Structure 1
Amino acid sequence: MASPVTNINRPREDIKILFDHELANAPGKSIIGVHLDYPPEGFTPPHRHGGATVVAYILAGELLSGMNGNPPKVYKPGESFMELPGCHHTVGENTSKTASTQAIAIFVVDTEVVKTGGYEALTVLDEGW
């Protein structure tokens, strides 16, 4: 398994909102789809997701992901993982020096989180980032 790349001067992921819908069958909740594009050696700093449940699905490349102090795991195209509310996502990175990684992340979140904090509230970076 690849080990995390620790240089913080690496590029960040590119984020594009794909959709945002309030859920009629779950009042007060929204489902939001996000496309993530990690350039070579791109990463997301340690973070949480504003109380959301998140499912990530890898489209291309490989993503090294670790949560809640568990050893990081490499996810490949067609694989997915889930982050439960309160989850601490400590490792999220593309360890390739040449290829990008693409993923879709689906958030189920309290609608008010996004209405008051914008899409930035979906990913709350650890203090110091």
Structure 2
Amino acid sequence: MASSVTKTNRPREDIKVLFDYELANAPGKSIIGVHLDYPPEGFTPPHRHGGATVVAYVLAGELLSGMNGNPPKVYSPGESFMELPGCHHTVGENTSKTTSTQAIAIFVVDTDVVKTGGYEALTVLDEGW
């Protein structure tokens, strides 16, 4: 999974898979961890997460995040937030013009989602992106 510049000319986040384990105590489920690196002014377009529950933990910088039509909130290092299955993540961005933002996202997802769609299936961008 790699970053790119989108039609908005803003950079996308860089994504690196850290781990992927099938859960023995929850058959059919996997836990997947990814490292997110948002360059200055980097962002993720509006999206959902393939039916997953996601917990994001900010490591460095500040992450502006908004979900389900609620006002966006800034998360700082050491803070976390959770996205429930079906959540519409409408804002995810680094608003700094000079420093990067880093976070870890942990997905609990149906194993088949990744087996059939690859890691790209974890983040389903809104139509038009």
TM-score (norm 2): 0.95
CA RMSD of aligned residues (A): 4.6
2: distance between equivalents of 1:115 and 1:3?
Answer: 22
Render the CA deviation track for 1:103-128: whole Å, top value 9, x for unaligned.
00000000000000000000000000
Q: What is the CA distance between 1:7 and its match in structure 2?
A: 8.6
Do 1:4 and 1:64's aligned partners in 2 also have CA atoms closer than 8 Å? no
Runs of 4+ in 1 over 4 A off after TM superposition: 1-7
Distance across 1 between alignment mates of 2:3 and 2:100: 17
Aligned length: 129
In 2: Cα distance, 1:20 partner to 1:6 partner:
28
1:8: Cα distance to partner? 2.1
Gaps of 5+ in 2: none
Distance change >3 Å, CA 6–CA 75, structure 1 → 2: farther
Check conservation: 1:34, 1:106, Cα contact below 8 A: yes
Q: Can you give the 5+ residue segments of structure 1 that lack an aligned partner in the other structure?
A: none
TM-score, normalization by structure 1: 0.95
Q: Which range moved further: 71-80 or 6-15?
A: 6-15
SS across alignment from 1:86: coil
